[in-house]
Amino acid sequence: MGNRRVGVYNAKWIALIFMGLLSLSACSTDDEAEPIMVAEGTFPGVDERLWPYFIRFQEQGASRGLTIDLVAEGITGVIEVIDEENIAGTCNFNSRTSNHVMIDAEFWQLAPDLFKEFIVFHELGHCSLFRDHREGADQNGRCISIMRSGLEECRDNYNIVTRTDYLDELYDTQFARDIFSNR
């Protein structure tokens, strides 16, 4: 059921984008193509339920000095069934569907807002910030990074009290600063 709904949604976006491109090309008089304007807060190719998390991801980066534009990066996202056990989300890159976030439909239906944010931010950490997994636990067995793989024996501790620290770690890397200073 989730796949069919996403398919209809994607078909609507494709038709909308195609019509927009057609109208832009019909009105253009010079050789340079006009940029396609995207309404603020919208993300073409992204399930609308993910938009608030994409917006938060950009805002949190901006509050830490990083300019992140997920639309310009071409990141897409869907919510659909992931057949693998214990996988709440994925980010495909260097593949046929590069920069594509997929969130498991069952997880999405059951998870509270903050845990949805955790998973979406983790996947965008891969797709946008080019972060690898970062393993490790503190002395109390809590994961030290939102970018943990889930394969290590640590407990997630992402909550309203620890959120800022986890997000500081997610965004505050020299690697991320180097990437975004060149954009």
Do the beta carbons of residue 176 and residue 121 sit within 8 Å?
no
47-65 confidence digits (pLDDT tens)? 999 999 999 999 999 999 9
Phi, psi of 30 (to 5 degrees): -105, 175
Span 64-69, average pLDDT: 95
Residue 109 confidence (pLDDT): 97
Domains present along the chain, CATH in parentheses: 1-37 (no CATH), 41-181 (3.40.390)
Cα–Cα distances (Å) from 149 to 43, 103, 108, 122, 173, in that order, read 27, 15, 19, 10, 18
Residue 171 confidence (pLDDT): 95
Query: Which tokens hold the place of 47?
Result: 């399930």
Cα–Cα distances (Å) from 2 to 26, 46, 50, 52, 87, in that order, read 36, 14, 15, 20, 16
Count of beta carbons in the 10 Å neighbourhood of residue 128: 26
Residue 173 confidence (pLDDT): 56
Span 65-90, average pLDDT: 94
122-135 confidence digits (pLDDT tens)? 999 999 999 999 99
Task: Dump strand ranges (E) for 17-59.
Answer: none
Residue 97 pLDDT class (50, 70, 90 cuts): low
Span 76-102, average pLDDT: 87
Average pLDDT, the chain: 78
d(CA 51, CA 56): 9
7-37 confidence digits (pLDDT tens)? 333 333 333 333 333 333 333 334 444 444 4
Span 143-150, average pLDDT: 92
